[in-house]
Amino acid sequence: MLKKIALLVISLLTVALMLAAVACGSEPKGSISEKEAVPQRANLIARISLESALADNGIRNVYDKVDKGTDVPATFDEFLQMFREQTGLDLKGFKEATLFGDITDPSQILPEQGVAPSEGYLGVIVSGTFKKDELIAAIEKGTGQKLESEAYKGYDIYTGIEENSGAESASLAFLDEGVFVVGSVDAVKDVIDVKNGGKEGLGDDLLEAYEKLDGSWGKLALNIPGEWLSQLPDEQDIGGIGTLKLKAFKEMRMATAALDRAGDNFSLEIRVAFSGGASASGAKDAIDGFISVLQGLIKLAGGSGDIPEMAALTDLLNSLHLSVSGNWLTLRLELTTEQVEELMPMLQGMSSGD
């Protein structure tokens, strides 16, 4: 089904922005700039260079060594094979993917079971080397659905129908040779409207922040929704570690991230704009204090010792660099592939609640 395409592409973008990206070697026949296509409604935009990832041995090693359970392909090659089988798409034919959406309501971006992503506002613009008819045929074969087309302002929008419920899943439209957009029907139509000049593109502030980013592997810009901040407590108790002061973080307004890879190292820079310099400095102080508590606990426990995860955590804390300039807080981090591999079991345990 087409919604699997959107969810799997989004999953790939998320992994890639955290760890790097995946490579293939062919040059796309078309491309489209974010300014020409991403709608003004979007408060999130992220780009990942798929071309830079699939052949990266560091990414493959990290994926292959992580404990993924029985429901997830054991190797990266098996993941690519599963992607082809479930969606009909071969990632090796794609170069770049640009994710955009309105994430004011996070439940619409990462829906609960039984809620189709088409109910939210999310899209992915993909460029690569492929033929339209062959791609449609591959999707129909992979999803087991017949795609129904609808003419919309000079473009054909293809939508799959859920076999059991009869509900529409995500939609797909070809923008230019070598470029398509997949996502919720409203997002797809808005991209067409922006491209035709019928609607405004991405807002100036968000677009300017995004275009200034240097991340050659991946980059992201986000206008932080007030709905998120209103639910943030003044402080959060971290069991067995201490209390993280969060009041200053209620003044966050925008966040950006840029990911690069140099040799064996992953480098990540995250910048957050606050309502003023005082709240940016307050946030830095809160993070610095929390890092100091963690470092103190590691020392009380006898240091990092020979435990790979603790050694990696120590390296992570030591490699964090925080700075404030005006109302912007900047966090820089650089890790080797080996350090990322050693950290993954701890990160998995945290995410699963172990």
Query: Are 172 and 249 within one domain?
Result: no
Q: What is the pLDDT of residue 108?
A: 58
Number of domains the chain is built from = 2
- The predicted structure's pLDDT at residue 11: 44
Rounded average pLDDT over 45-67: 79
Query: Based on the domain organization, do 314 and 165 belong to the same domain?
Result: no
The reply to whether 101 and 167 lie within a common domain is: yes
Q: What percent of the chain has pLDDT over 70?
A: 76
Asked whether residue 192 falls in the same domain as residue 239, the answer is: no
pLDDT band at 245 (very low <50, low <70, confident <90, very high): confident
**The whole model's pTM is what?**
0.80
Alpha-carbon span 246 to 172, nearest angstrom: 41
Supply the pLDDT for residue 28. 39
Model pLDDT, residue 322? 96
User: Residue 210 is inside which H or E element, if any?
Assistant: helix 204-211
pLDDT for the residue numbered 85: 79
Residues 238 and 137 in one domain: no
Q: Are residues 160 and 239 in the same domain?
A: no
Q: What is the pLDDT of residue 58?
A: 75
237 and 180: one domain? no
Same domain, residue pair 24 and 168: yes
Is there a domain that residue 216 lies in?
Answer: no
188 with 238, same domain: the answer is: no
User: How far is C-alpha 115 from the geometric centre of its chain's CA atoms?
Assistant: 20
Q: Residue 219 forms beta bridges with which residues?
A: 47, 258
**pLDDT-derived band of residue 168, with 50, 70 and 90 as boundaries?**
low
Domain that holds residue 184: 2-196
- Which of 236-264 are b and which e, b meaning 16 or more Cβ less than 10 Å from the residue's Cβ? eeeeeebebbeebbbbbbbbbbbbbbeee
Calculate the average pLDDT of the chain.
Answer: 79
Residues 48 and 184 in one domain: yes
Q: Which amino acid makes up residue 293? A: V
237 and 179: one domain? no
pLDDT (tens digit, 9 = 90+) per residue, 86-99?
776 777 778 888 99
pLDDT of residue 150: 94
Same domain, 136 and 238: no
- pLDDT score for 25: 30
